[in-house]
């Protein structure tokens, strides 16, 4: 650890941050009197800030990104070697790491054959929306242009992807939005919308109802997170995915799985959808693809979709009229190649399942002790604990106390997250997503911090 407390350069950086940086997701008024937290160094799951404080990061860089942990020299070296050889070329030409990573990725995704590069999750999702619209124009007689999305899911921060935000508070102040994006109900059984036995199938049937309401000839695509992330860590109930697949086939609707969070091992399989028997037409991914060592996102699709974009070579409108300038950076795919090698060689999928099970059972044990935990859920190292004021009525614990639990963990050196300011009245789920290299000690330390925080905050 090389951070020198109070060193000139670090205190200067903190002052510069306070003076000039506009932080994501932040109300800045408090920074008029206190310093923002500025991180300096990371190793494994550990982080150090500019004041020399050490933390255990249980959220992989804040938003489920650093899957292989901090301080990976082999990724840094691979990027360096590539950058001095060729850093960039965009547009119609390819590059070597882009080709090699696409090949490796496709090996992990049977049924999918083509990778389109860009550099954020939002952008990868926008590409799908544009592809669906172009298919509607060229191949569906102007029909099947609508895109269905689900309550509580999130697909990005641009105006287009916010039009598919199932988290209303994120979108509220940024309308009007483009037409043709239609919401379907969420599938969280803990907060039931239907009193039935086969909840998964019933929740999927609600998608069919929306399709029939809109007119099946108008609906081209359905976008879903395999496990909903910021909307409350929602693992769809039994029977859900199978029924969703059936419905998409029945009405010839393209199925788009947003793996921006779940992709590259987070749930213990390469992709979240691979826990189920489904065949997506589009898969998008970003965060864990290069674990935050470089910016990269991918839109992956089938040969059937790809073929539709080369139907008439003489027609200037018959290819995908899209580019992503930084989709031509070689740092992304070269980092992604090394990131994937690490996940494979270090057995991180297996570790994710083991540590995920341990974390889930620790949380279940905490549920026995703390009545404030209403529900725990998750898959792999992607877990949530929903906090309630009353277990019987399931009244959510108020946001202030949920944030106090997060703050207490932080003061105890453990960074956890919460569904924060996205769902009216339901910002009450603690979120855990440590790096896939987490050890039993790490997992126990995280759940121990939550235990202590709940005792202090709720009693
Ligand atoms: N999809 C999901 C499921 C996400 O969680 C996010 C980001 N939190 C995005 C898309 C958007 O990704 P980005 O911030 O890289 O644009």
pLDDT at 1 over 80: no
Q: Whose CA is nearest to atom 13 of ligand 1?
A: 121
Do 55 and 82 belong together in one domain? no
Q: Is 156 in the pocket of ligand 1 (CB under 6 A)?
A: yes
- Going from the Cα of 297 to the center of ligand 1, the distance in angstroms, rounded, reads 10
Answer yes or no: is 18 within a domain: yes
Region 315-331: mean pLDDT is 95
pLDDT at 3 over 70: no
Q: Whose CA is nearest to atom 10 of ligand 1?
A: 155
Which ligand 1 atom is the nearest neighbour of the CA of 156?
A: 11
Do 420 and 322 belong together in one domain? no
CA dist., res. 70 & res. 42, Å (int):
5
Answer yes or no: is 78 within a domain: yes
- Going from the Cα of 38 to the center of ligand 1, the distance in angstroms, rounded, reads 22
Q: Whose CA is nearest to atom 12 of ligand 1?
A: 121
Which band of pLDDT confidence, cut at 50, 70 and 90, is reported for residue 93? very high
Answer yes or no: is 166 within a domain: yes
- Going from the Cα of 403 to the center of ligand 1, the distance in angstroms, rounded, reads 22
The CA–CA distances, whole Å, from 148 to 36, 94, 238, 446 equal: 39, 33, 21, 37
- Going from the Cα of 156 to the center of ligand 1, the distance in angstroms, rounded, reads 5
- Going from the Cα of 458 to the center of ligand 1, the distance in angstroms, rounded, reads 32
Do 61 and 146 belong together in one domain? no
Do 147 and 267 belong together in one domain? yes
Identify the CA nearest to 359 among candidates 234, 444, 233: 444
CATH at 163: 3.40.640.10
CA dist., res. 153 & res. 167, Å (int):
7
- Going from the Cα of 286 to the center of ligand 1, the distance in angstroms, rounded, reads 8
Answer yes or no: is 1 within a domain: no
Q: Is 124 in the pocket of ligand 1 (CB under 6 A)?
A: no
pLDDT at 96 over 90: yes
Answer yes or no: is 382 within a domain: yes
Q: Specify the pLDDT at position 134.
A: 97
Tokens 């083509």, residue? 114
Yes or no: say if 287 and 436 are a contact pair by the CB < 8 Å rule: no
Interior angle at CA 245, CA 296 and CA 254, nearest 5: 55
Do 251 and 374 belong together in one domain? no
Q: Specify the pLDDT at position 421.
A: 74
Which one of 59, 67, 122 would you pick to mutate in the ligand 1 pocket, going by the greatest count of ligand atoms within 8 A of its CB? Answer: 122
Which one of 157, 232, 324, 326 would you pick to mutate in the ligand 1 pocket, going by the greatest count of ligand atoms within 8 A of its CB? Answer: 157
Do 332 and 400 belong together in one domain? no
Q: Specify the pLDDT at position 91.
A: 86
Helix H, strand E, coil C: the string for the chain is CCCCCCCHHHHHHHHHHHHHCCCCCCCCHHHHCCCCCCEEEEEECEEEECCCCEEEECCHHHHHCCCCCECCHHHHHHHHHHHHHCCECCCCCCCHHHHHHHHHHHHCCCCCCEEEEECCHHHHHHHHHHHHHHHHHHHCCCCCCEEEEECCCCCCCCHHHHCCCCCHHHHCCCCCCCCCEEEECCCCHHHCCCCCCCHHHHHHHHHHHHHHHHCCCCEEEEEECCCECCCCCECCCCCHHHHHHHHHHHCCCEEEEECCCCCCCCCCCCCHHHHCCCCCCEEEECHHHCCCCCCCEEEEECHHHHHCCCCCCCCCCCCCCCCCHHHHECHHHHHHHHHHHHHHHCCHHHHHHHHHHHHHHHHHHHHHHCCCEEEEEECCCCEEEEEEEECCCCEECCHHHHHHHHHHHHHCCEECEECCCCCCCCCCEEEECCCCCCCHHHHHHHHHHHHHHHHHHCC
Percentage of the chain with pLDDT > 90? 95
Which ligand 1 atom is the nearest neighbour of the CA of 262?
A: 3
Do 142 and 202 belong together in one domain? yes
How many Cβ atoms are within 10 Å of 190's Cβ, its own excluded? 15
Phi-psi bin for 233: left (phi > 0), alpha (psi -120 to 50), beta? left
Report the domain count for the chain. Answer: 2
Tokens at residue 428, please? Answer: 């009450």
Which one of 345, 379, 404 terminates a domain?
Answer: 345
Q: Is 359 in the pocket of ligand 1 (CB under 6 A)?
A: no
Q: Is 420 in the pocket of ligand 1 (CB under 6 A)?
A: no
Which one of 314, 345, 376 terminates a domain?
Answer: 345
Q: Is 154 in the pocket of ligand 1 (CB under 6 A)?
A: yes
Q: Is 258 in the pocket of ligand 1 (CB under 6 A)?
A: yes
Q: Is 289 in the pocket of ligand 1 (CB under 6 A)?
A: no
Q: What is the ipTM of this complex?
A: 0.99
Q: Is 417 in the pocket of ligand 1 (CB under 6 A)?
A: no
- Tell me the average pLDDT of the chain: 96
**Rounded to the nearest 10 degrees, what angle do helices 96-107 and 331-345 cross at?**
40
Do 150 and 12 belong together in one domain? no
Do 173 and 26 belong together in one domain? no
Residues 154-191 have pLDDT tens digits of 999 999 999 999 999 999 999 999 999 999 999 999 99
Higher local confidence (pLDDT), 424 or 246: 246
Interior angle at CA 334, CA 309 and CA 122, nearest 5: 50
CA dist., res. 37 & res. 49, Å (int):
7
Which ligand 1 atom is the nearest neighbour of the CA of 122?
A: 16
How many Cβ atoms are within 10 Å of 341's Cβ, its own excluded? 15
Residues 256-308 have pLDDT tens digits of 999 999 999 999 999 999 999 999 999 999 999 999 999 999 999 999 999 99
CA dist., res. 161 & res. 102, Å (int):
24
Yes or no: say if 183 and 195 are a contact pair by the CB < 8 Å rule: no
Q: Is 355 in the pocket of ligand 1 (CB under 6 A)?
A: no
Which one of 260, 272, 273, 298 would you pick to mutate in the ligand 1 pocket, going by the greatest count of ligand atoms within 8 A of its CB? Answer: 260
- Going from the Cα of 148 to the center of ligand 1, the distance in angstroms, rounded, reads 17
Q: Is 126 in the pocket of ligand 1 (CB under 6 A)?
A: no
Q: Specify the pLDDT at position 67.
A: 98
pTM of the model: 0.97
Q: Is 286 in the pocket of ligand 1 (CB under 6 A)?
A: yes
Q: Is 157 in the pocket of ligand 1 (CB under 6 A)?
A: yes
Q: Specify the pLDDT at position 110.
A: 98
Residues 189-223 have pLDDT tens digits of 999 999 999 999 999 999 999 999 999 999 999 99
CATH at 452: 3.90.1150.10
Yes or no: say if 367 and 376 are a contact pair by the CB < 8 Å rule: yes
The CA–CA distances, whole Å, from 238 to 141, 247, 259 equal: 37, 16, 19
Q: Is 292 in the pocket of ligand 1 (CB under 6 A)?
A: no
Which one of 320, 345, 370 terminates a domain?
Answer: 345
Domain interval for residue 227: 74-345
CA dist., res. 75 & res. 342, Å (int):
9
Q: Is 155 in the pocket of ligand 1 (CB under 6 A)?
A: yes
Answer yes or no: is 117 within a domain: yes
CA dist., res. 28 & res. 399, Å (int):
19
- Going from the Cα of 121 to the center of ligand 1, the distance in angstroms, rounded, reads 5
Which one of 67, 162, 261, 332 would you pick to mutate in the ligand 1 pocket, going by the greatest count of ligand atoms within 8 A of its CB? Answer: 261
């Amino acid at each position: 650890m090389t951070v020198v407390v109070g060193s000139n350069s670090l205190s200067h950086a903190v002052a510069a941050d306070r003076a000039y940086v506009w932080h994501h997701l932040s109300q800045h008024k408090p920074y008029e009197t206190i310093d923002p937290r500025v991180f300096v160094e990371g190793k494994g799951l550990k982080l150090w800030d500019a004041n020399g404080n050490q933390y255990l990061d249980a959220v992989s860089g804040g938003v489920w990104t650093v899957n292989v942990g901090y301080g990976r020299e082999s990724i840094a070296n691979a990027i360096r070697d590539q950058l001095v050889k060729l850093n960039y070329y965009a547009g119609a030409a390819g590059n070597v790491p882009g080709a090699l990573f696409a090949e490796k990725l496709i090996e992990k995704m049977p049924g999918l054959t083509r990778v389109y590069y860009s550099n954020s999750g939002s952008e990868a999702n926008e590409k799908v929306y544009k592809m669906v619209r172009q298919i509607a124009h060229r191949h569906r007689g102007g029909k099947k242009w609508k895109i269905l999305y689900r309550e509580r899911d999130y697909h990005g921060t641009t105006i287009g992807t916010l039009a598919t935000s199932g988290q209303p508070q994120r979108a509220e102040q940024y309308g009007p939005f483009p037409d043709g994006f239609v919401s379907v109900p969420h599938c969280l059984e803990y907060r039931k919308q239907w009193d039935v036995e086969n909840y998964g199938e019933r929740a999927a049937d609600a998608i069919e109802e929306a399709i029939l309401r809109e007119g099946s000839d108008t609906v081209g695509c359905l976008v879903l997170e395999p496990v909903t992330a910021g909307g409350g860590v929602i693992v769809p109930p039994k029977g859900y995915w199978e029924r969703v697949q059936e419905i998409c086939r029945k009405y010839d609707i393209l199925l788009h799985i947003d793996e921006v969070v779940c992709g590259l091992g987070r749930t213990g399989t390469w992709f979240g959808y691979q826990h189920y028997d489904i065949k997506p037409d589009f898969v998008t991914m970003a965060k864990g693809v290069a674990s935050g060592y470089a910016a990269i996102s991918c839109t992956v699709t089938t040969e059937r979709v790809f073929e539709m974009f080369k139907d008439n070579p003489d027609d200037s409108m018959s290819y995908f009229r899209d580019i992503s300038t930084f989709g031509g950076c070689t740092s992304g795919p070269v980092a992604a190649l090394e990131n994937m090698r690490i996940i494979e060689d270090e057995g991180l999928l297996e570790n994710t399942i083991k540590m995920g099970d341990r974390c889930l059972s620790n949380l279940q044990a905490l549920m026995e002790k703390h009545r404030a935990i209403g529900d725990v859920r998750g898959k792999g190292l992607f877990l949530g604990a929903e906090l309630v004021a009353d277990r019987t009525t399931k009244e959510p614990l108020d946001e202030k106390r949920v944030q106090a639990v997060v703050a207490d963990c932080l003061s105890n050196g453990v960074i956890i997250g919460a569904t924060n300011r996205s769902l009216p009245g339901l910002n009450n789920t603690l979120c855990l997503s440590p790096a896939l290299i987490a050890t039993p000690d790490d997992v126990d330390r995280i759940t121990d911090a939550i235990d202590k925080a709940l005792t202090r905050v709720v009693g």
